[in-house]
Structure 1
Amino acid sequence: MKNTILPLNCLALACGGLAWAGEAPLAPAPLPETPVAESPASWCDALQTVGKTPSDWLNPLVQDFSVFGRFQFQTAWIDGTDADGDDFNDSYNEFRRVRVGAKGKFLNYFDFKGNINLVSDGRPSGDDLDWGYEGFDEALLGVDLAKAFGLGMDSLHLSYGRHKFAISHEANESSKKIITVERSAISNKIYGALRPTGVKLAGSQGPWDMLLGVYSTEPEDEFVAGWEEALVYQASLGYQVSDDFSVLVDFVYNDSDAEDDSLWGYQWATSVSAVYESGPWGLVTDFIYGDNGSSGMGQNNPDRQDDFWGVVIMPHYWLLEDRLQAVARYQYAGSSADEGIRVNSRYLRRNDDTDAAINGGRGDEHHSIYGGLNYYLCDHNAKIMAGVEYDDLSTPAGDVDALTLWLAFRSYF
């Protein structure tokens, strides 16, 4: 009997041990989470967001408010041969643009924009470098018509004041984002960096964009001009063909006569531009045609009348995505008049002040080839631009050839 009880007791103890061993062990108490410190905002983030007002600072009267500005400095070295066969060379440093301004939206439908120039660097022309208020660049009041009247359009905006006048792709692209140090000469001829007073209606619907503008030709260096002179009319139509391809057609007509002051130095001009971007590649083309006008509109020099035309071809390629970009540009400009076209004032024309025989930069045919690299420190908000440009100008007295080396820093917030 004793022999039977002992094995049973052993079996019971063994089963109890197995049961205890099969239970899940107690989990250790979780450690308190250590907060992960957020990485500090970079200088690039700060540059791209400074000036913007947080939304919780605004109120029902003011829907948006921000301040903005840009700083642009450049240097250039030029070496060439004038129409007499004599060599010339020079170098230049220039604060190209320094501006500050503010813009905002108020009362749900209205908006404003104003910015001023803070530098006038006349050193490339032998004048002084002056800092301080130098007049308004733009001064605008606008209304969102699409929102105010529920028109069912993607956008329809009416503005009045001192506008940036723009015709051709290069001029429509802000100086903050152009990819060559200077725009082409044919683009600058019809653009002129003009800031006329006028009324502008801009709208969009689907792939279509349109613009209608009426401007006063009255010159005004500082603020909004009057309407005592003639009028200029502008019409633009753009179409987004695909995600990669867009086209833009611009037309402007100057209705001034010989008795009127006019900001525009030609009677009419048109531009047809196309932009293609796919992956690292991009291509801009621009075809320009216009009429310099006659004595009836104040162009009394017959050598500067008649038609003018030009083409711009500008490919670009990302060598390092969003960091290093290669750019090339070919420009041709011609005219049926001996002095119907003109090279840029920066900086070939500056040598006219040093007794170089370049005919004030005027001629009947101009070829220009530009090649450059852009290094983006913080997108277009901070970039370094380097380039080399060759110009060949045919003047009544002979050919002018020049090579210009460029180095520039561009920044904005």
Structure 2
Amino acid sequence: MPNRSVGAPSSETMELLEAAENAVLFTAVRPAVIMEKGEGMYLWDTEGRSYLDFIGGWAVNALGHSPHVIQVALAAQSAQLVNASPGFYNKPMAQFAKQLTELTVFDRVFFGSSGAEANESAIKLARKYGAVHRGGAYEIITTLGGFHGRTLAMMSATGKPYWEPLFAPKVPGFRHVPFNDLDAMREAVSEQTCAIMIEPVQGEGGVHLADPAYVTGLRELCDEHGILLIFDEIQTGLGRTGKLFAYEHYGVEPDIMTLGKGIGGGFPLSAMLTKERYNLFEPGEQGGTYTGQPLAMAVGQAVVRAIVEQQLSENAKELGEYLQAGLKSIAKRYQLANIRGLGLLIAFDLSQPAAPRLAAAAMENGLIINASSASVIRLIPPLIVSHADVDEMLKRLCLTLDAVQHV
């Protein structure tokens, strides 16, 4: 275990905390620490305390913190071209688009800066398809427990009941049905439906996997009605689930796929991919100031190349199984239940609604984990995680569980 400093924070830390609390718009409850640097699996705050990071920036830091390949890519590209404009092609944009289409079943790529932006692009393309090919159909069916982002449209698409009254009126055109319920999805399809959109693994919703028969049924349902199947792989894409993309687990090809989080390894980047037959946008209908921005393109190339060359999908599969086995070995002792996941997207249930308290206590023991709800802990470490890292995480988790369960 690392040495945890005690006593009053330094004057620098106090000044930074005061500045953050007074000047940063409040949108989240954050612990009273200032993160200063990161390397590999660890973060350090301004007090010199280290933290073993098992959420990796919410599945973002696929290669760990401050990976060398991103440093090199940013330095080289920033010396060459930082920005031209979205009105021009640039060299890394062309290279990265080719790289992604060669790794997937898709033919075209639109680049954005966030997962919500990629999902907005997918929704717009689906509605364009509905306008051109389905007589103006515009409805997208999504699932309860799903999560697609925090723009107004993506909050409307997301199946969180407690979001329903927020920022009303909601963007119309979304219907929500239970996850893994093919009959409910079939009943929801109408003449106004242009697409079905799911996460193959619901991440923010608590790590729930789509059943193979359900996904196969969705593909058949979409083909039957001539509507699009959209996979939101913002969290599951690029090796997270033990394959390069989660759709590969199901033997089904979606019509549109969105990527974010791990695609940039920590640099703001996302993508929406589709088949050539859905290359439907006219000039001016879709765009963005940072579409295909050279720095992001260079980083994306480097990150995706590293994931493939270092076989991090395979590492996610092996270490995910090792992590689940470790959790099961302590499950009875700590009353952990429903240990589940795919690759390095894992969750478990607590016997009491103590997940936020457990996550806060874990930080005091130098471990970062996520309480995705009152009784669910989610683990989404960088894809570079090792057996030794998992062993250390389990040690710190047990230490934390011992303390919390005796309070």
TM-score, length-scaled by structure 1: 0.24
Larger helix share, 1 or 2: 2
Bigger radius of gyration, 1 or 2?
1
Q: Which has the higher strand share?
A: 1
The structure with higher relative contact order (CA 8 Å, sep 6+) is: 2
TM-score, structure 2 length as denominator?
0.24
